[in-house]
Structures are given as structure tokens and as C-alpha cells.
Amino acid sequence: MSDDEPDLELLALLRQHLQGKLKLDDEPETGVLESAEYVYNNCIDVALDMRSCKNAAAAIYSQMQQKEYSPATWSSHELHPKTKDESTVAFIFTMDLLNFSFWSEKSETERFAIEYRGRRWTGYWSLVAALQRALDEGIPITDSHFWQDEEECSLAVLKQVFRSCTDEEIPLLEERLACLREAGKVLYEKYDCDITNLIEDAKGSAARLVNLLAQDFTCFRDEHQFDGRKKPIRLLKRAQILVADLWACFEGKGYGEFRDIDKITMFADYRIPQILNTMGCLLYSPLLEMAVKDKKEVVSGSSHEVQLRACSIWCVELIRREIIKAHPEAHINAILIDFFLYDTIKEMESKGKDNIPHHRTRSIWY
């Protein structure tokens, strides 16, 4: 083709686009995996041990097979909702809106805990237990109209919802109230106060739903600067886990049906880096290792913290690829690997076998 001849294929594509038959963003990306790879390629304080990653992939796959790990495992947890309707969608949205910062420096008997159904719940499960207890007590904690009512949904009421059976209160309570307020406002202004409208706007795309959450809700916009890069590093822990929880709860159907669910990465928090480090997959520089072992706070958004989280995402991605390489028929994605690793480290913790501490970062992102 000469320079004077038109590119007929390009013209056809442009014509389709102008006529509305082709949307170039039909299959969006979240940018999380690309961000994680960038950080991994440019960081100096976190490294991956490839042999350990390969060994971890084999061990994880074997144990997941033994335990018959699948999306259905999510609903098998005692506190997770068992219904599959709009009320469950509202519960999951509320849960992941507030799913951050439960770690404590106090002992297991002194730390913040929720007493519910004759048991004592800590960590993430304290949040789920508190929400279930509030609903049992007639507090409409999952209703976006309630979040907007400053008299009904006050700091005092939220203290009641999250009242502890110990002397330690839940961290960042005011920040949690701010998240509810903002979410209520956005849902009112853009989605007719209905979370299912938000899901419908994603048009069956997990990546698009993640992007909508990050675009419309600042409290889901888990983005950070790193290494002078103009483009922010996207980690989006809570936005991604919200999509993953919908997918797992509804087992890939109804409100949990996403054609591109495998675009969701692991959820960069403080627990998964902990177990990856325990397994020898994630290695730290002496300075960072000392900070983690001495339980010094790693500042949110700092280079150390971004490296920890981003490299954890990339590490789980490599483990996933290794599993698929060895078992092409396996239906395993980063979500299931994350859920499995989280359950494993919590089980180790309950048995006193989590000898390596997790890093300490106090933020709303995780």
C-alpha cells in the first residue's frame, strides 16, 4: 500500500466506532497488575525468590485440591451471608467499604474483639460479626439511606455497632464513618441509592466495576506515587476484594457474574506479604526486614509499603502462572490463591505458628 492509499481496515474501524458499533473500552483493564510489575522491576527493598515461588505453587495447588477449595468455600464460613439476593449485595458492599485496619499491638485477650453468637471474633471476622450483630439488633447498617442520615448514623451509633468485648476500641472509627458518608452520597447522586445499579453499570466486567469504584468513590481509590513515576501505582485492594466477594458469594452467577474475573489480582494487605515472606517467596532488604521484625510502623504510601504490597501482587501472579503451567486444566485464579493464603495464615496464627510478624501500616486501604 502506498502512502497515498487509504487504510481501509482502519477506516472501517473508525466508521464502526462513530456509529456506536465498537467501543474501544469494552474490555477495560484495572492497571493493578501492570503497576505491580512496574514496582517489582524498579524496587530495591523487596525481591522474589523464584525457586520458593515454584515450590509454593506446588504446595498451594496440592492443599487446595485436598481441601476442595472453590468459590463455594466463601459461603461456608459461619459469618458470611447465606442468602443470594440484594440484601447480600448490600452486606458485601458495606463489609468491604469498612474492611480495613484491624491489627493490634495488644495480646489476643486484650485486642479489639466482637462477641457474637457465643464466640469471640477478631480481625476481619470482627467486622463481619459486628455487621451481623447490628442487623440482628435492628440497626440498618447496610442501608445507604441510613449512612446519609447524620442523626441516625452518628459516631455514637457507630461506636455501638462496633462495641468491643475488650477495652480496646476498633481503630479508625471516624474514618469508617467518613467512608459510609461518602458512599451514601455517591450512591444517591449516581446510582439511585442502589448498589445493584452500580454493578449493572459494570456490564458484567470485573475490571470495569473496579474502575467505577475507584473513579466514583475516593475511599476506594487506593493509588500511590512511586519512584517519581507520573502515573500512579494502582493497588485497589478493597475495590478488588469487593468484586471478588460478589463473585465468590454468588459463585459466578447473578450479581457475581463477571466474564473477566481472572483480571482481579490478589488483595494487597499485610497478611499475604506475611505468609509469602514465611514461605520464602518474598524477601526484604535488611532495613525493611528490621522494621517488620521490630514491628515499627511502615508509613502508608511510603516506598517500603508500596514495594511490599505491589511485589506481593506480582508474587501471587507468578505463583498462579506456575500452577496453570503445571496444571493447564486447573480453574485457579489470584482470588482463590489469596483467600487460601489468608485462611492459612490465620490458621497458623491461631496455633501460634506465625513466627514472622506482619508489617504495620495504619490506613483505610487495608
Q: Which of 365, 364, 366 is nearest to 172 (CA)?
A: 364
Residue 300 burial class via C-beta count within 10 angstroms: exposed 0-12, middle 13-18, buried 19 and up: middle
Catalytic residue among 216, 269, 338, 354: 269
For residue 28, the model assigns a pLDDT of 94
Q: Catalytic annotation on 143?
A: no
Residue 324 burial class via C-beta count within 10 angstroms: exposed 0-12, middle 13-18, buried 19 and up: middle
For residue 19, the model assigns a pLDDT of 53
325 φ, ψ (degrees, to nearest 5): -65, -40
Name the residue with cell 524496587: 43
pLDDT tens across the length of the chain (366 residues): 445 565 655 555 555 555 544 344 568 999 999 999 999 999 999 999 999 999 999 999 999 999 988 899 999 999 999 999 999 999 999 999 999 999 999 999 999 999 999 999 999 999 999 999 999 999 999 999 999 999 999 999 999 999 999 999 999 999 999 999 999 999 999 999 999 999 999 999 999 999 999 999 999 999 999 999 999 999 999 999 999 999 999 999 999 999 999 999 999 999 999 999 999 999 999 999 999 999 999 999 999 999 999 999 999 999 999 999 999 999 999 999 999 999 999 899 888 888 899 999 999 999
Other beta carbons within 10 Å of 299: 13
For residue 15, the model assigns a pLDDT of 58
**Strand 282-284 with 233-234, pairing:** unpaired
Residues 323 and 238 sit within 8 Å (Cβ to Cβ): no
Name the residue with cell 459463585: 251
Q: Which residues share a beta bridge with 333?
A: none
Amino acid letter, 65: Q
For residue 351, the model assigns a pLDDT of 87
For residue 24, the model assigns a pLDDT of 42
Query: What is the grid cell recorded at 196?
Result: 445493584
